[in-house]
Amino acid sequence: MMGCSDPGPATGDTSLSSVHKPDSFAPRTHAPAGRTPAASHGPSTPTLNQKLKNLRLMIDFPHLSLYSFHRPDQPRSNSPTGRVFPVAVYEVRNLTKIYRQGAAPANDDLSFDIEQGEIFGLLGPNGAGKTTLVRQLVGLVKPTRGSIRLFGHDIVRSAAAVPRCVAYLAQRPLAVAEVYVSDAIALTGRIRGLGRREAAARARELMGLFGLEPVARRPIMRLSGGQQRLVTLALALIGDLPVLILDEPTNELDPEHRRLVWDLLLERNRRHGTTVVLVTHNVLEAERVIQRVGIINHGRIMALGRVGELKARVDQRVRLELRFSAERGEVPPAARVGETAGGQVLELARGHYAVLVDRAELQAAVARVLDAFGPGRLEDFRIQTPTLEDVYLQLGGGTGLAQQRSA
């Protein structure tokens, strides 16, 4: 995975003239760290200007020279000296944000790392503090106190390195809402250091991938909500920056495009070692890609760890989900369903129940349900072990499965 482009002097200058090509820090190749990139017919040999930019980077930002971008299955050992360094993309320490005096903190003493090459999920209910945290990670909001380091660079002091290293997908592309789709994507690629032809080619590729060719010459503001979401994804992906921060990336998308997005993120992560930070409410879909998760509520981190580790901390009872059809007979009340199955019952909606039973009693519980109600009255029947949704609800301060499901 290629590195960040030259952050430049810490003056906050973000004019086009100060933006250097992303390959000024590392050649545009996707060879794993520690290996010599294979010969290619593209412009992979550093030019004199690129070498000068590398020298400037090492002088102005010596901490960045210690880091290399790698595939998750490769060791982190590509420093110039051959030494091995633990790599954290983000290091957040004692981060607190208070918007006005006397108000409760939006973020309250948060400390965590986001590791290079991982897919990190940030989960929490509305108003939990997720957006405030993300806006600080991308340098749009300054914390009241605490520190944030991006590849070792203090972005609280100067956020100049953020746009060269991080692609941020916000809820709406407000800054380019009046720009044509194709122009917005290509211009973003140019700002991130791509040549004119390469930016145009990558824009066409991404528009083809997301089915945006028919609206290429239409202003973004005139697109549907789902189409705007696809444009924001293309804006985030062009330029192949090493870090993606995506805020609700599948909102307003149909099932086909939601699956495409998750597959794309997995491919970017596995093939290029891209670090991905996901902010989402779609817990069940996100579970297939998230490797480590932080659950935030009331401005604090309630749980942090790998998905498997957190699952082991929640209720280990198996969940039977039963959906009865009113057209196939009278819908039984919740009390009778729970008594028949021999477990704790939750009414998710009319005729839709979840029954929590011990693993040892699962086979007997299923037999009792089928004997009592018969398969003909059931519209749907599922057996689930603990999921990331259970982690979210039980460790993240949720107010109950039924209430969350009906929200």
CATH, residue 353: 3.30.70
Give the span between the Cα atoms of 36 and 34, in whole angstroms: 7
Of 227 and 388, the one with more pLDDT: 227
Last residue of a domain, one of 250, 283, 311: 311
Of 396 and 247, the one with more pLDDT: 247
How much is the pLDDT for 284?
Answer: 78
299 and 348 fall within a common domain: no
Tell me the two tokens of residue 344.
């704790």
Task: Confirm if 276 and 244 have CB atoms less than 8 A apart.
Answer: yes
Q: Residue 62 pLDDT > 60, yes or no?
A: no
**Is 407 inside a domain boundary?**
no
What would the pLDDT profile of 311-343 be if each residue is shown by its tens digit? 888 878 888 899 998 777 788 999 999 999 999
323 and 220 fall within a common domain: no
What would the pLDDT profile of 267-290 be if each residue is shown by its tens digit? 999 998 999 999 987 787 788 899
DSSP letter string over 66-100? G-----TTS-S--STT------EEEEEEEEEE-SS
Total count of domains within the chain = 2
Most confidently modeled of 208-217, 289-298, 339-348? Answer: 208-217
215 and 285 fall within a common domain: yes
Q: What percent of the chain lies above the pLDDT cut of 70?
A: 75
160 and 282 fall within a common domain: yes
Residue 176 Cα to chain centre, angstroms: 22
CATH, residue 292: 3.40.50.300
176 and 243 fall within a common domain: yes
Last residue of a domain, one of 311, 332, 354: 311
Give the span between the Cα atoms of 140 and 30, in whole angstroms: 30
Most confidently modeled of 164-168, 174-178, 381-385? Answer: 164-168
What would the pLDDT profile of 98-129 be if each residue is shown by its tens digit? 999 999 999 999 999 999 999 999 998 888 89
Task: Confirm if 230 and 212 have CB atoms less than 8 A apart.
Answer: yes
Q: Residue 193 pLDDT > 60, yes or no?
A: yes
For Cα atoms 122, 125, 128, give the angle at the middle one, nearest 5 degrees.
75
Phi-psi map region of 40: left, alpha, beta (phi>0 left; psi -120 to 50 alpha) = beta
**Is 246 inside a domain boundary?**
yes
What would the pLDDT profile of 284-307 be if each residue is shown by its tens digit? 778 889 999 999 999 999 999 998
Q: Residue 81 pLDDT > 70, yes or no?
A: no
Tell me the two tokens of residue 36.
């010599």
**Is 23 inside a domain boundary?**
no
244 and 386 fall within a common domain: no
Residue indicated by tokens 């929590």 = 356
Task: Confirm if 89 and 106 have CB atoms less than 8 A apart.
Answer: no
Task: Confirm if 280 and 287 have CB atoms less than 8 A apart.
Answer: no
Backbone angles phi, psi at 5, to 5 degrees: -75, 170
When mean pLDDT is compared across 48-52, 136-140, 268-272, the lowest value belongs to 48-52
Q: Residue 393 pLDDT > 90, yes or no?
A: no
Q: Residue 24 pLDDT > 80, yes or no?
A: no
**Is 50 inside a domain boundary?**
no
141 and 262 fall within a common domain: yes
How much is the pLDDT for 80?
Answer: 36
DSSP bridge pairs for 277: 120, 245
Q: What's the DSSP call for residue 180? A: B
Q: Whole-angstrom distance between the N-terminal and C-terminal Cα of the chain?
A: 40
139 and 233 fall within a common domain: yes
Last residue of a domain, one of 288, 311, 334: 311
**Is 46 inside a domain boundary?**
no
285 and 344 fall within a common domain: no
**Is 261 inside a domain boundary?**
yes
- Positive or negative, the CA dihedral 107, 110, 115, 121 is negative
269 and 322 fall within a common domain: no
Tell me the two tokens of residue 351.
């005729």
264 and 362 fall within a common domain: no
Q: Residue 361 pLDDT > 70, yes or no?
A: yes
Of 6 and 368, the one with more pLDDT: 368
**Is 404 inside a domain boundary?**
no
How much is the pLDDT for 17?
Answer: 28
**Is 211 inside a domain boundary?**
yes
Which among 124, 122, 93 has a CA at the least distance from the CA of 109? 93
Domain range for residue 372? 318-395
Q: Assign 47 a pLDDT band (cuts: 50, 70, 90).
A: low
How much is the pLDDT for 127?
Answer: 86
363 and 252 fall within a common domain: no
